[in-house]
């Protein structure tokens, strides 16, 4: 049976009033203290400090609710300076990537068709270490009919709603499993270096994620060539968390237990169809949030100092010198 109990505990308590209400167990609160420097007695003051800072940034139109700010604080281990830098980068990336952050209506026919493919699926519950496992199925769409930008847009819609609704993951982090079955040279050709660089800047610099592992399965022969480019944009810490399993599922199970994987992957955690349906329902339920989210951006003409550009953030100059090192 595919159940998602516990995935949405933060939702009701937090969203309607804008004031954070903690839904974490004592054990997770203890982990938050030890791993990310969270002090419950200081939490409200830290949130208020960041909110006041955001209000004084003429170029940023940001979400100012407790929960959004707290997620960034947790992703930056409660460093106020790093939180400010990450929030600025998050809204900057959103603005400079309209192809990923505009027109995010889950009921739009084109987006709906992508969502129904189940390209990116956070799996029900959490793994044995409390982490959220996210499955990416990059070979299930036709690259002649669907652009990578549209795939990214649909995937980011899901990841944004996951971040809104799953408080536990802000403490325990997430694990990514990338399934390359069905990937062709046409898929691989669409992953251009500039697209990969943009993705890595967004995820590493803009999102308050705590990625704990990247696992790749069913990798085709050409995978290494493309992945080496991808890896060149990764921080060293992230590179060390990459595991390429090929077709060896037993190797994957040593890191990601069967209990959290779908039936199609030898697991017991629901079917791809059930999990896909769940996420479409969640996006429909949060459609207003997704549509409203477009207004939270930066206005570079109002940024104090020098305006930021796509070329500066996502440009490739100098990036490929690193490839020889790997």
User: What is the rounded distance in angstroms from the CA atom of residue 272 to the CA atom of residue 279?
Assistant: 11
In this predicted structure, the answer to whether residue 108 has a pLDDT above a threshold of 60 is yes
Q: How confident is the model at residue 233 (pLDDT cuts 50, 70, 90)?
A: confident
For the residues 28-34, what does the mean pLDDT come to? 96
Q: How far is CA 126 from CA 3, 32, 67, 257, in A?
A: 11, 17, 21, 10
Q: How confident is the model at residue 232 (pLDDT cuts 50, 70, 90)?
A: confident
Q: How far is CA 167 from CA 7, 10, 79, 125, 164, in A?
A: 8, 6, 19, 12, 8
Q: Which residue has the higher pLDDT, 144 or 236?
A: 144
What DSSP line would sit under 7-34, residue for residue?
Answer: TTHHHHHHHTTSS------HHHHHHHHH
| Residue in the structure block whose two tokens are 């990214």 | 152
Q: Which residue has the higher pLDDT, 113 or 309?
A: 113
Q: What percent of the chain has pLDDT over 70?
A: 91
Q: How confident is the model at residue 326 (pLDDT cuts 50, 70, 90)?
A: very low
Of 241, 237, 269, 239, the C-alpha closest to 255 is: 241
Beta bridge partners of 137: 179
Q: What would the pLDDT profile of 176-205 be if each residue is shown by its tens digit? A: 999 999 988 888 888 888 888 898 888 888
Q: For residue 4, what pLDDT is reported?
A: 47
Q: Record the pTM.
A: 0.88
Q: Which residue has the higher pLDDT, 7 or 40?
A: 40
Q: For residue 87, what pLDDT is reported?
A: 97
Name the H helices within 16-147.
26-36, 40-55, 66-75, 80-96, 98-101, 109-117
Lowest mean pLDDT among 56-60, 122-126, 217-221, 303-307: 217-221
The DSSP 8-state label assigned to residue 155 in this structure reads: H
The DSSP 8-state label assigned to residue 294 in this structure reads: G
Q: Is 117 helix (H, G, I), strand (E, B) or coil?
A: helix
């Amino acid at each position: 049976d595919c159940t998602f109990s516990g995935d949405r505990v933060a939702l009701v308590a937090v969203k309607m009033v804008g004031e954070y209400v903690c839904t974490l167990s004592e054990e997770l609160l203890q982990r938050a203290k030890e791993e990310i420097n969270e002090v419950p007695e200081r939490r409200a003051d830290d949130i208020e400090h960041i909110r006041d800072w955001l209000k004084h940034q003429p170029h940023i139109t940001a979400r100012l609710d407790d929960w959004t700010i707290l997620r960034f604080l947790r992703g930056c281990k409660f460093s106020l300076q790093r939180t400010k830098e990450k929030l600025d980068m998050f809204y900057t990336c959103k603005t400079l990537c309209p192809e990923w952050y505009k027109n995010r209506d889950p009921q739009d026919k084109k987006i709906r068709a992508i969502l129904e493919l189940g390209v990116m699926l956070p799996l029900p519950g959490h793994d044995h270490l409390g982490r959220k496992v996210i499955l990416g199925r990059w070979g299930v769409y036709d690259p002649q009919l669907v652009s990578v930008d549209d795939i990214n847009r649909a995937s980011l819609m899901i990841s944004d709603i996951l971040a809104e609704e799953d408080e536990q993951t802000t403490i325990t982090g997430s694990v990514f499993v990338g399934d390359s079955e069905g990937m062709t040279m046409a898929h691989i050709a669409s992953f251009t270096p500039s697209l990969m660089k943009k993705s890595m800047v967004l995820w590493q610099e803009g999102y308050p994620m705590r990625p704990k592992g990247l696992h790749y399965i069913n990798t085709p022969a050409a995978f290494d060539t493309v992945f080496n480019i991808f890896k060149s944009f990764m921080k060293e810490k992230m590179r060390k968390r990459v595991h390429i399993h090929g077709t060896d599922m037993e190797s994957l199970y040593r890191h990601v237990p069967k209990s959290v994987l779908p039936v199609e992957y030898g697991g017991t955690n629901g079917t791809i169809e059930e999990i896909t349906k769940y996420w479409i329902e969640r996006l429909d339920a949060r459609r207003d949030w997704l549509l409203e989210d477009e207004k939270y951006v930066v206005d570079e003409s109002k940024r104090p100092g020098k305006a930021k550009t796509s070329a500066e953030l996502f440009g490739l100059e100098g990036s490929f010198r690193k490839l020889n090192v790997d």
